[in-house]
Structure 1
Amino acid sequence: MTPPSDLPPAKVLIVEDDPMMQLGLEQALAGYPGLTVVGRADDGYIAVEEALRLKPDIIVMDIGLPRLDGIAATQQIKAALPSVRVVMLTSHTTENEVIAALSSGADAYCVKGTSVDRLITAIAAAQEGASYLDPQVARRVMDHLKPSAPTETAMIGQLSQRELEVLKLMVEGQSNPEIAAALYLSPNTVKTHVRGIMNKLAVDDRVQAAVIALRAGIV
């Protein structure tokens, strides 16, 4: 997936306790004119305070933080500022940690050491309101998730062929415009399909839909 060359204007808060990683992230994001780093934090409590003070659009959040971990910090931030998009960037890739991070309200999940292009793709997906799972994380989760329940299999069976195509691209973390381009559909048509998928799968967001798709083995 090729990241966009430009991004909508966004204020970014970097939460990372490793000073070199923090600097590297800031330098990487500086290459994208739409993104402005407005703050930094090196533990979870400071992250919550800075989020409330700065009201950023995007937070790049490490999980392994001192005092208050990134999952708990994300829960607190999302409760107070639900429109803030959180991109988890961490070395933690076990199933429990990934599901806990996404359940906390995180919008995207990237692995430390990932390419800048992949991080920017995750940020762009979060800005669009899409979920994004790093491919190696998605594979790990898929390998360890329990098989789908009969009810989930039945719900998947309700999806049309086009909805299945849209769902597969959702699992890959593609945003609505990217799905529209890939399937030669209008963005409004994709939105309609996404709403239909979530209604048929009885879920509230794209992450839950992706988990059901992975458990059902359709990807």
Structure 2
Amino acid sequence: MIRVVLADDEAMIRAGIAAILGSDAGIEVVAQADDGRQAVDHVLSTRPDIAVLDIQMPVLDGLAAAEEIRRLRPQTGVVMLTTFGEDEYIEQALALGANGFLLKSGDPNELIAGIKAVADGAAFLSPKIAKRVIDHLPRKTSGARAKVANLTPKETEVLALLGSGLSNADIAVKLLIVEGTVKAHVSVIFDRLGVRNRVQAAIVAYEAGLVQSLA
């Protein structure tokens, strides 16, 4: 069961998202919050697998809440949920270590898929967000290739699959190795690339030309 803390300051939207998540037998919303401070408190008290955070909330906004959660409870994956698609929010969320970024206007199935992907250890960007990342964030090809050059051939292969959105389990099946070995490779990849999570690693994979899409 994937345990989720949900935070959104609009009660109707929060109820709708909770209903969508609750429609899947494998997801349980264990706490709801209407501001970022409550969200952080709920994460610390309930220790969920995922925190779903709206960007704009009172007391503590979603970005600040994400930063605190990543610092105080790094085991909890962070998925940002917003009606906004501005590059500044995308960049800030990725820099803070968010594991996923979804639009409220997206398909409900996309929300469920994103939660499951992040819970499974993968990164998830909604297709619209992925396109904005690809189209608008600077593609630092030379720098990314220099970073990737420090990886072994197997680590490069793992990074390419990670960048394509595969979970550790999927990568293990693809490469015919055990999942524990994939986790070890991913840990080394993060260290050598100087990144904090799978989304940031996926961006490096894209910039280096290992994958064509982050969706």
TM-score (structure 2 length as normaliser): 0.82
Q: What is residue 131 of structure 1 aligned with on the other side? A: 123
Post-superposition offset of 1:217: 3.9
Q: Distance in 1 between matches of 2:104 and 2:161?
A: 23
Is 1:107 aligned to 2:96, yes or no?
Answer: no
Q: CA–CA distance in 2 between the matches of 1:74 and 1:126?
A: 15
Deviation, 1:25, is: 1.2
Residue-pair matches, total: 211
Residue-by-residue CA offset, 1:86-143 (whole Å, 9 max, x unaligned): 1111122222211211222322111112223222222122222322222221111111
Distance 1:94 1:32 in 2: 30
1:26-65 equivalence runs, <5 A: 26-65=18-57
Q: Classify the secondary structure of the residue corresponding to 1:83.
A: coil
Matched residue SS, 1:36: strand
Taking the aligned partners of 1:214 and 1:87, their CA distance within structure 2 comes to 21
Match of residue 73 from structure 1? 65
Please say if residues 14 and 59 of structure 1, whose CA atoms lie closer than 8 Å, have aligned partners that are also in contact: yes
1:165 positional shift: 4.8
- Taking every aligned residue pair, what percent have the same amino acid on both sides? 39
3-state DSSP class of the match of 2:9? coil
For residues 177 and 96 of structure 1, the distance between their equivalents in structure 2, rounded to whole angstroms, comes to: 32
Q: Are 2:151 and 2:189, in contact at CA under 8 Å, matched by a contact in 1?
A: yes
TM-score scaled by length of structure 1:
0.81
**Could you say what secondary structure the match of 1:38 adopts?**
strand
Question: Do structure 1's residue 187 and structure 2's residue 187 form an aligned pair?
Answer: no
Contact between 2:6 and 2:52, CA under 8 Å: does it hold in 1?
yes
Within a 5 Å distance, the mapping from 1:15-26 to structure 2 comes to 15-26=7-18
Distance 1:214-1:75 versus aligned 2 partners, 3 A rule? same
Match of 1:144 in 2: 136
Structure 1 residues without counterparts, runs of 5 or longer: 1-8
2:203 matched residue in structure 1:
211
Give the Cα–Cα distance (whole angstroms) in 2 for the partners of residues 134 and 119 of structure 1.
9
Query: Which stretch of the first structure deviates more once superposed, 153-162 or 87-96?
Result: 153-162
Q: 1:172 to 1:12 in 2, by over 3 A?
A: same
Which residue of structure 2 aligns with residue 169 of structure 1? 161
Q: Which residue number corresponds to residue 3 of structure 1?
A: none
- Aligned equivalent of 1:85: 77
Q: Give the drift of 1:18.
A: 2.1
Checking the alignment, whether the CA contact within 8 Å between 2:100 and 2:199 is kept in structure 1 is no
Q: 1:153 to 1:105 in 2, by over 3 A?
A: closer
Please give the secondary structure, in 2, of the residue aligned with 1:147.
coil
The question of whether the paired residues in 1 share the 8 Å contact of 2:142 and 2:208 is answered with no
Structure 1 distance, partners of 2:94, 2:52, is 14
Which of 73, 85, 88 aligns to 1:96? It is: 88
**8 Å Cα contact 1:15/1:43 also seen in 2:** yes
Q: CA RMSD in A?
A: 2.6
5+ residue gaps, structure 2: none
Tell me how far apart the structure 2 counterparts of residues 181 and 95 of structure 1 sit (CA, whole Å). 35
